[in-house]
């Protein structure tokens, strides 16, 4: 989406299935092989009772939306804050919600609210700043 078309208050949502395969691949890539993400029997012994996704895997879906969907190609990521509020379980479908909080036309910056919902509950909340070069 073009910078000039994007107004304060605009929002964009996208849903993603957080699959077992994604979690196992993410564990392999990053080396984060915490059994809480990979081992059903271990997960049963934790407060979560079931395997959960790596928080940063879910955050990576925010990054995917910004770079590919809204605003999409050309987006330069400046910063991201995230707060992890609730776990995302293996097989959950999450909704990434991006809302334009503010816009700096001169510097071509967008200030975004970046939340992730799972079953209508906020699992990750946060904010991002992005830059859209001409």
For 122, the 3-state DSSP assignment is strand
Residue span 98-127 as binding mask against its own copies, x where in contact by CB under 8 A, dash where not: ------------------------------
Instruction: Report the alpha-carbon distance of residue 123 to residue 107 in Å, rounded.
Output: 31
Going 67 to 99 to 111 to 7, the CA torsion angle's sign is: positive
29 belongs to the binding site for its own copies (CB under 8 A): yes
Q: Which stretch binds its own copies (CB under 8 A): 1-9, 51-59, 98-106, 108-116?
A: 51-59
Closer Cβ to its own copies, 7 or 47, answer by number: 47
Single out the residue of 20, 49, 81, 122 in contact with its own copies (rule: CB under 8 A). Answer: 81
From the list 98, 122, 117, 92, the residue with the least C-alpha distance to 17 is 92
Beta bridge partners, 76, equal 131
Using CB atoms within 10 A of its CB, is residue 30 exposed (0-12), middle (13-18) or buried (19+)? Answer: exposed
Single out the residue of 11, 15, 30, 93 in contact with its own copies (rule: CB under 8 A). Answer: 30
93 belongs to the binding site for its own copies (CB under 8 A): no
20 belongs to the binding site for its own copies (CB under 8 A): no
**Residue 69 DSSP code:** I
Closer Cβ to its own copies, 9 or 76, answer by number: 76
CB 16 within 8 A of CB 93: yes
Binding site for its own copies (CB under 8 A): 16, 22, 25-26, 28-34, 54-57, 59-64, 67-68, 73, 77-84
């Amino acid at each position: 989406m073009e910078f000039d078309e994007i107004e304060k208050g605009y929002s964009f949502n996208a849903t993603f299935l957080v699959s077992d395969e994604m979690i196992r691949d993410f564990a392999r890539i990053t080396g984060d092989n915490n059994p809480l993400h990979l081992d059903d029997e271990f997960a049963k012994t934790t407060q979560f009772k079931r395997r959960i996704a790596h928080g940063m895997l879910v955050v990576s879906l925010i990054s995917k939306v910004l770079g590919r969907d809204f605003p999409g190609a050309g987006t330069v990521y400046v910063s991201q804050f995230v707060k992890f509020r609730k776990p995302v379980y293996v097989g959950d479908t999450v909704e990434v919600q991006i809302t334009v909080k503010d816009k700096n036309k001169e510097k071509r910056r967008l200030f975004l609210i970046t939340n992730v919902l799972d079953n209508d509950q906020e699992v990750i909340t946060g904010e991002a700043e992005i830059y859209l070069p001409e």
